[in-house]
């Protein structure tokens, strides 16, 4: 009998159901496998969580068929899913699914492949005949054979492997190739009238290999009609060739050797190494300024782990998953590294995941979800830039990768290393209390100084008659660099600062019809877009409110800055990096490489250029408006501002040339900007901790956010009021309940949103109480669309 969690995400089905294992599958079903089971009138997918001999129920239905030949979730991950469910209040099935690569979530065609021809002799006789004439069997054939257990054994022994045919992979990149069919010695016998055609055949006489069509046309400067007549005459042939897209394949990666550690680095790595050696779980905060050599500490810690025969996970923020960062791991550990990030196709992600599952690699480098890499013998988990908010998932299950890392670290008895130049307040507070071990790298490599930072008050600029988006000092410094041929990074904080469309006569701002938020103007297609629901519209010619035709867009987008740069510094070559210029696969890398190779003087961009850039020729960083994030309704806004400014500043002067930073702001007196200018995290930490204490926010209090969504305002208000009353009746007196209030964005996609925020220090029964709320309203979601969501550690309070 098997206990199965079915793929029906609902309150009533969030528990295991018992199913009989049919006789022909006895011994073939184990925990962590997916199966197809009958559920009511339907067939659904499910995960086996346990196999037992007895059930307390009668009349069990049978498992229809297995979906896997070996478990896709190991014992530890099954356990981890219990933990996830409990901590994020999600359904069991959501917890399983978040741990698997997307190829295993949807229905993809599954096949069993003989790994290599000679293995056929090593297969059991019962299944050998299946592979006499082909290497690949359909899953159906495997199921029908009645020999599943034999297939399983051969798979476990590495003779067979499972393939998932993902639709995307069919759309492999293809190129057209041209091959000549005319032999060199036959050339003279042909009657070739057209000189162009002759030219092509003569080219092939000297270069008999096939050539990509595109290059042929370009090299010989001929038109496609010339080629067409050659094809028609049968003199050349056009074929299609598939090219495999491994994003890291064609780069030559040079092997690097461990560097001799500095004294500071040695002192920092010591405790990590002894934790690895002693197989002891500890959490370290590696607190080191930008450029202090944290990555080398990661690399050498992993080296130790590999030497012990264990494995490591390295998390980096998605934006920082640049080839530059990935290469540092690949060049040290070669093909022992799997890379997981969102730029990969579904098939590529599955391939990387499979390398981990098959123990072909020792290290996984990836964004948030790589924390679920199915290693069985973890020796270290590293989270770089641990303060990054992208480590928190905002959809169900709303987990934070840091918490998952610590949980896995406990199970595997291995260290967790959190690295940052600007740790989150929560982490730093824990390190100060000794809950985490604090390791410090206080100096930049080779004692390069941190760059000089100058803060410019933009209000004064305006008072002095400068209406440009560049202060006089920044203008001057840009000019200087252009003359000296040094490089400049200009940073524009996009969040909370997008451009909007407004009528100059009546002040009307164009709003999204579905959400209570203004539309963002996109210059490249003259459209306005809602970033919450995706609504798009053309910019109207006249104001919908007053009919005036003075309708303009406002705000500073990167495009506008680029235009302005073109006017002021016409000689400067600018590369712009934002969502518009980097949406195509590989674009991000191309732009950075071009900048690295000196093909531009100025790199202009948003958040995505704040991290990981380590280019020697950057000597000036300009932040165009530092305070755009300060005024968001978020208790972390000061912290985020400080972190971002410090990160951006860290891009300058990392090598021989000294760096300078100019920060332009309208609130120079704000402590997060002032202290970012002084690059003084410790002082910032003290100030911000005071604020958090006064306003009762983390790390002094825990918070949980409840949001109600529905199309009818009254229903939303009524529900949130009931919930708030319920909370008041059940929670302790020291707990604060803020609200109910309308959410900062009160309507998204035509659904109204109200929320209440719980702040507490100790509330042992809270999980239970929140579950009760979810259970109570979970039933309503199906009948009337009322949605109640709870985030037990919210990062976005909107």
The footprint of ligand ADP (CB under 6 A) covers 259-262, 265, 288, 290-296, 445, 614
Residue count of the chain: 798
Interface with Zn ion includes 726 (CB under 5 A)? Answer: no
Give which of ligand ADP, Zn ion, none residue 793 binds (C-beta under 5 to 8 Å, depending on kind): none
DSSP letter string, 293-338 = SHHHHHHHHHHHHHHTT-EEEEE--GGG--HHHHHHHHHHHGGGEE
543 is in an annotated binding site: yes
Q: Which of 794, 763, 760, 774 is nearest to 719 (CA)?
A: 774
Residue from the set 49, 367, 371, 515 that interacts with Zn ion by CB under 5 A: 515
Q: Which stretch binds Zn ion (CB under 5 A): 89-97, 169-177, 354-362, 502-510?
A: 502-510
- Taken in order 265, 266, 271, 275, the sign of the CA dihedral is positive
- Given the DSSP bridges, would you call strands 660-665 and 520-522 parallel, antiparallel or unpaired? unpaired
Interface with Zn ion includes 546 (CB under 5 A)? Answer: yes
Give which of Zn ion, ligand ADP, none residue 294 binds (C-beta under 5 to 8 Å, depending on kind): ligand ADP
Interface with Zn ion includes 548 (CB under 5 A)? Answer: yes
By beta-carbon proximity to Zn ion, the closer residue of 534 and 598 is 534
**Closest separation in Å from C-beta 502 to Zn ion:** 9
| Burial letters 312-332, b for 16+ CB under 10 A, else e | bbbbbbbbbbbbbbbbbbbbb
Contact 554, 520 (CB under 8 A): no
Give which of ligand ADP, Zn ion, none residue 792 binds (C-beta under 5 to 8 Å, depending on kind): none
By beta-carbon proximity to Zn ion, the closer residue of 533 and 594 is 533
DSSP letter string, 543-587 = -TTT--S-EEEES--HHHHHHHHHHH-TT--EEEESTTTS-STTH
Give which of ligand ADP, Zn ion, none residue 503 binds (C-beta under 5 to 8 Å, depending on kind): Zn ion
756 is in an annotated binding site: no
Find the helix or strand (DSSP H, E) in which 123 lies.
none
Q: Which stretch binds Zn ion (CB under 5 A): 18-26, 380-388, 506-514, 644-652?
A: 506-514
By beta-carbon proximity to Zn ion, the closer residue of 500 and 508 is 508
414 is in an annotated binding site: no
515 is in an annotated binding site: yes
Q: Which of 674, 650, 694, 639 is nearest to 491 (CA)?
A: 650
**Closest separation in Å from C-beta 614 to ligand ADP:** 6
Find the helix or strand (DSSP H, E) in which 146 lies.
none
Q: Which of 45, 31, 43 is nearest to 3 (CA)?
A: 31
Structure tokens at 11: 């309150």
Q: How far apart are CA 240 and CA 200, in angstroms?
A: 19
Total residues binding Zn ion (CB under 5 A): 15
By beta-carbon proximity to ligand ADP, the closer residue of 558 and 679 is 679
By beta-carbon proximity to ligand ADP, the closer residue of 81 and 420 is 420
Give which of Zn ion, ligand ADP, none residue 21 binds (C-beta under 5 to 8 Å, depending on kind): none
Interface with Zn ion includes 539 (CB under 5 A)? Answer: no
**Closest separation in Å from C-beta 292 to ligand ADP:** 4
By beta-carbon proximity to ligand ADP, the closer residue of 261 and 713 is 261
Interface with Zn ion includes 149 (CB under 5 A)? Answer: no
Q: How far apart are CA 269 and CA 280, in angstroms?
A: 15
Give which of Zn ion, ligand ADP, none residue 512 binds (C-beta under 5 to 8 Å, depending on kind): Zn ion
Q: How far apart are CA 582 and CA 513, in angstroms?
A: 28
Interface with Zn ion includes 533 (CB under 5 A)? Answer: yes
By beta-carbon proximity to ligand ADP, the closer residue of 296 and 318 is 296
| Burial letters 681-714, b for 16+ CB under 10 A, else e | beebbebbbeebeeeebbbebbbbbbbbbbeeee
503 is in an annotated binding site: yes
Contact 569, 478 (CB under 8 A): yes
Angle, nearest 10°, between helix axes 587-596 and 323-333?
80
- Taken in order 586, 589, 590, 591, the sign of the CA dihedral is positive
533 is in an annotated binding site: yes
- Given the DSSP bridges, would you call strands 751-760 and 702-710 parallel, antiparallel or unpaired? antiparallel
**Closest separation in Å from C-beta 514 to Zn ion:** 4
By beta-carbon proximity to ligand ADP, the closer residue of 259 and 579 is 259
Residue from the set 156, 435, 506, 542 that interacts with Zn ion by CB under 5 A: 506
By beta-carbon proximity to ligand ADP, the closer residue of 148 and 314 is 314
3-state helix vs strand vs coil in the chain, percent to 5: 40, 25, 40
Angle, nearest 10°, between helix axes 401-412 and 75-88?
140
Q: Which stretch binds Zn ion (CB under 5 A): 303-311, 535-543, 595-603, 775-783?
A: 535-543
Q: How far apart are CA 454 and CA 472, in angstroms?
A: 12
Interface with Zn ion includes 201 (CB under 5 A)? Answer: no
Find the helix or strand (DSSP H, E) in which 465 lies.
none
Structure tokens at 245: 């897209």
Write each residue from 239 to 278 as x if it is in contact with Zn ion (CB under 5 A), else as -, in one continuous string: ----------------------------------------
Residue from the set 35, 112, 361, 543 that interacts with Zn ion by CB under 5 A: 543
Give which of ligand ADP, Zn ion, none residue 445 binds (C-beta under 5 to 8 Å, depending on kind): ligand ADP
By beta-carbon proximity to ligand ADP, the closer residue of 175 and 259 is 259
By beta-carbon proximity to ligand ADP, the closer residue of 222 and 316 is 316
Contact 285, 423 (CB under 8 A): yes
Give which of ligand ADP, Zn ion, none residue 71 binds (C-beta under 5 to 8 Å, depending on kind): none
Residue from the set 503, 618, 705, 720 that interacts with Zn ion by CB under 5 A: 503
530 is in an annotated binding site: yes
Query: Can you say which residues are annotated as belonging to the binding site for Zn(2+)?
Result: 503, 506, 512, 515, 530, 533, 543, 546
Binding stretches for Zn ion (CB under 5 A): 503, 505-506, 508, 512, 514-515, 530, 532-533, 535, 543, 545-546, 548
Query: Can you say which residues are annotated as belonging to the binding site?
Result: 503, 506, 512, 515, 530, 533, 543, 546
């Amino acid at each position: 009998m098997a206990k199965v969690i079915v793929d029906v995400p609902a309150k009533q089905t969030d528990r295991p159901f018992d199913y009989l294992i049919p006789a022909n599958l006895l011994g073939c079903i184990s925990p962590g496998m997916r199966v197809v089971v009958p559920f009511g009138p339907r067939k659904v997918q499910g995960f086996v969580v346990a196999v037992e001999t007895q059930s307390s129920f009668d009349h069990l239905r049978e498992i229809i068929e297995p979906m896997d030949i070996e478990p896709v979730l190991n014992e530890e991950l099954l356990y981890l899913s219990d933990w996830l469910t409990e901590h994020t209040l999600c359904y069991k099935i959501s917890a399983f699914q978040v741990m698997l690569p997307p190829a295993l979530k949807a229905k993809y065609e599954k096949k069993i492949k003989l790994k290599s021809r000679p293995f056929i002799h090593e297969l059991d006789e019962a299944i050998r005949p299946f592979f006499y004439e082909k290497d690949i069997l359909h899953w159906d054939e495997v199921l029908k054979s009645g020999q599943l257990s034999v297939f399983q054994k051969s798979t476990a022994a590495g003779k067979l492997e499972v393939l998932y045919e993902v639709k995307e992979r069919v759309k492999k990149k293809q190129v057209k190739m041209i091959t000549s069919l005319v032999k060199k010695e036959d050339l003279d016998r042909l009657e070739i009238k057209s000189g162009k055609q002759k030219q092509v055949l003569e080219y092939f006489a000297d270069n008999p290999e096939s050539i990509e069509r595109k290059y042929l046309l370009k090299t010989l400067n001929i038109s496609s009609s010339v080629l067409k007549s050659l094809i028609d005459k049968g003199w050349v042939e056009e074929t299609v060739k598939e090219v495999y897209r491994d994003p890291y394949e064609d780069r030559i990666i040079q092997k690097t050797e461990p560097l001799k550690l500095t004294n500071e680095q040695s002192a920092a790595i010591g405790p990590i190494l002894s934790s690895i050696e002693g197989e002891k779980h500890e959490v370290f905060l590696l607190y080191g300024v930008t450029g202090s050599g944290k990555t080398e500490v990661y690399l050498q810690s992993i080296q130790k782990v590999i030497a012990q025969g264990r494995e490591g996970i390295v998390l980096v923020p998605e934006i920082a998953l640049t080839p530059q960062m990935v290469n540092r791991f690949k060049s040290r550990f070669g093909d022992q590294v799997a890379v997981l990030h969102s730029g990969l196709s579904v098939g590529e992600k599955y391939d990387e995941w499979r390398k981990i599952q098959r123990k072909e690699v020792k290290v996984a480098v990836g964004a948030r979800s790589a924390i679920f890499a199915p290693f069985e013998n973890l020796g270290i988990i590293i989270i770089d830039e641990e303060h990054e908010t992208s480590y928190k998932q905002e959809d169900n299950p709303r987990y934070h990768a840091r918490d998952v890392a610590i949980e896995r670290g406990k199970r595997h008895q291995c260290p967790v290393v959190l690295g940052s130049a600007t740790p989150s307040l929560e982490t730093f507070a824990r390190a100060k209390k000794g809950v985490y071990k604090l390791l410090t790298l206080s100096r930049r490599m080779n004692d390069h100084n941190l760059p000089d930072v100058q803060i410019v008050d933009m209000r004064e600029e305006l008072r002095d008659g400068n209406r440009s988006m560049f202060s006089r000092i920044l203008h001057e410094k840009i000019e200087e660099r252009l003359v000296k041929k040094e490089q400049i990074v200009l940073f524009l904080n996009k969040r909370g600062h997008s451009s909007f469309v407004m009528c100059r006569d009546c002040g009307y701002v164009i709003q999204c019809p579905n959400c209570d938020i203004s539309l963002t103007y996109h210059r490249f297609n003259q459209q306005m877009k809602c970033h919450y629901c995706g609504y798009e519209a053309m910019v109207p010619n006249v104001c919908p409110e007053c009919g005036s035709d003075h309708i303009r867009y406002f705000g500073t987008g990167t495009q506008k800055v680029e235009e302005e740069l073109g006017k002021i510094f016409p000689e400067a070559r600018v590369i712009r990096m934002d969502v518009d210029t980097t949406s195509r696969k590989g674009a991000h890398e191309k732009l950075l490489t071009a900048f690295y190779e000196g093909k531009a003087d100025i790199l202009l961009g948003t958040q995505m250029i704040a991290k990981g850039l380590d280019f020697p020729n950057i000597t000036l960083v300009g932040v165009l408006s530092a305070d755009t994030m300060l005024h968001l309704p978020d208790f972390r806004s000061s912290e985020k501002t400080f972190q971002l400014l410090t990160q951006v500043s860290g891009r300058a002067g990392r090598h021989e040339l000294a760096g300078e930073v100019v920060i332009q702001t309208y609130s120079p007196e704000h402590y997060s900007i002032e202290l970012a200018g002084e690059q003084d995290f410790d002082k910032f930490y003290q100030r911000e901790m005071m604020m958090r204490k006064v306003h009762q926010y983390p790390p002094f209090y825990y918070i949980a956010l409840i949001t109600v969504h529905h199309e009818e305002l009254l229903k939303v208000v009524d529900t949130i009021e009931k919930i708030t009353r319920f909370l008041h009746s059940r929670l302790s007196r020291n707990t604060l309940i803020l609200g109910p209030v309308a959410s900062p964005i009160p309507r998204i996609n035509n659904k109204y949103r109200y929320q209440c925020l719980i702040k507490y220090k100790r509330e042992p029964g809270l999980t239970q109480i929140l579950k009760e709320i979810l259970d109570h309203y979970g039933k309503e979601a199906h009948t009337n669309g009322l949605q109640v969501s709870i985030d037990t550690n919210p990062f976005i309070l909107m």
